[in-house]
């Protein structure tokens, strides 16, 4: 399958991607644990069905020291015993923030309050932006049918 757009070749997307990458760097440096970021990236991408991002974030997570077992259990995080309470709070926020059309109230107060108990203001802000960022990137990749042959190398876009 060929991509509908080449984001790296088009002048408009080239300019925008420069800013997206800067935003991604700011999020990575905001004090939110890398493992949490990669777990959230993986879960959001699973929900949205973005193979490009699943390939990228699985490899980034493993390169950052994430265990293959935890990575394999992200889709079933509620039943898995390998995640911390803070990670569970982040994954719940990621799910409700991604499935906004499925929930009458969007993100519930209970999920928000639980996340706020585990993360300080900067970390919570980074988490919210990260969830939105991942949803945006997933949608861009899906809309333009970005191919995923599994050839992403960890660190390639950082």
Contact, 37 vs 131, CB < 8 A? no
pTM for the full predicted model: 0.89
Give the closest residue to 134 by CA, choosing from 62, 28, 6: 28
CA 155 from chain centre, in angstroms, equals 15
What's the pLDDT band for 1 if we cut at 50, 70, 90? Answer: low
Comparing 6 with 90, the larger pLDDT belongs to: 90
Q: How open is the CA angle 65-85-43, to the nearest 5 degrees? A: 60
Every domain of the chain and the residues it spans: 34-143
Residue-wise pLDDT tens digits, 7-57? 777 888 778 888 888 888 888 888 899 999 999 999 999 999 999 999 999
CATH placement of domain 34-143? 1.20.1290.10
Percent of the chain with pLDDT over 70: 94
């Amino acid at each position: 399958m060929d991509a509908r757009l080449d984001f790296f070749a088009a002048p408009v997307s080239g300019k925008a991607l420069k800013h997206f990458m800067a935003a991604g760097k700011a999020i990575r440096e905001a004090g939110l644990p890398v493992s949490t970021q990669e777990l959230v990236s993986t879960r959001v991408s699973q929900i949205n069905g973005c193979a490009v991002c699943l390939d990228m974030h699985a490899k980034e997570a493993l390169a950052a020291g994430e265990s293959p077992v935890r990575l394999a259990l992200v889709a079933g995080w509620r039943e898995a015993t390998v995640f911390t309470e803070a990670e569970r709070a982040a994954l719940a926020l990621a799910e409700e923030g991604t499935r906004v059309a499925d929930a009458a109230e969007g993100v519930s107060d209970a999920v928000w309050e639980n996340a706020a108990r585990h993360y300080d203001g900067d970390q919570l802000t980074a988490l919210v932006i990260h969830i939105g960022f991942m949803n945006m990137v997933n949608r861009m990749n899906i809309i333009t049918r970005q191919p995923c042959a599994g050839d992403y190398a960890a660190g390639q876009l950082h």
